[in-house]
């Protein structure tokens, strides 16, 4: 059930996956509200960081999952790390701090996609 779309704009295009739930919830995917509610309770939370620091990491993980069709996180990790600084916006997280949030969003996108594929 892979639909192809641009991970940021949602426009149709080759070589990308549609992020599960895109356009249906806050920030384009259903887990964002849960992340916002729970990010301070995660094992990877860094004291003094805010939602403005973590939100870009969750978005990045979800969008990069969609952009890197069929690639496991560990395969994509070197490029994700390299590109994080340029794409993090106002987030103060370095890659070491951001990586667990990026992984969480990436894995949730996998789970959501698998659920959608088995339901459809």
φ/ψ of residue 36, rounded to 5: -60, -40
pLDDT over threshold 90, residue 99: yes
Q: What is the mean pLDDT of residues 16-44?
A: 71
pLDDT digits (tens, 9 = 90+) for 34-52: 999 999 999 999 999 999 9
**Predicted model pTM:** 0.76
Among the listed residues 3, 26, 27, the one whose alpha carbon sits nearest the alpha carbon of residue 13: 3
For residue 22, what pLDDT is reported? 43
pLDDT of the residue at 111? 85
Boundaries of every domain in the chain:
26-119
pLDDT band at 10 (very low <50, low <70, confident <90, very high): very low
Please report which residue ranges of 1-120 form alpha helices under DSSP H.
Answer: 32-38, 51-67, 73-87, 95-119
């Amino acid at each position: 059930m892979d639909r192809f779309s641009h991970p940021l704009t949602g426009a149709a295009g080759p070589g990308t996956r549609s992020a599960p739930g895109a356009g249906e919830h806050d920030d384009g995917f259903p887990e964002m509200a849960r992340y916002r509610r729970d990010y301070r309770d995660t094992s990877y939370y860094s004291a003094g960081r805010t939602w403005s620091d973590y939100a870009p990491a969750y978005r990045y993980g979800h969008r990069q999952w969609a952009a890197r069709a069929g690639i496991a996180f560990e395969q994509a990790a070197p490029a994700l790390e390299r590109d994080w600084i340029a794409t993090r916006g106002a987030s103060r997280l370095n890659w070491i701090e951001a990586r667990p949030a990026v992984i969480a969003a990436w894995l949730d996108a996998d789970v959501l996609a698998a659920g959608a594929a088995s339901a459809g």
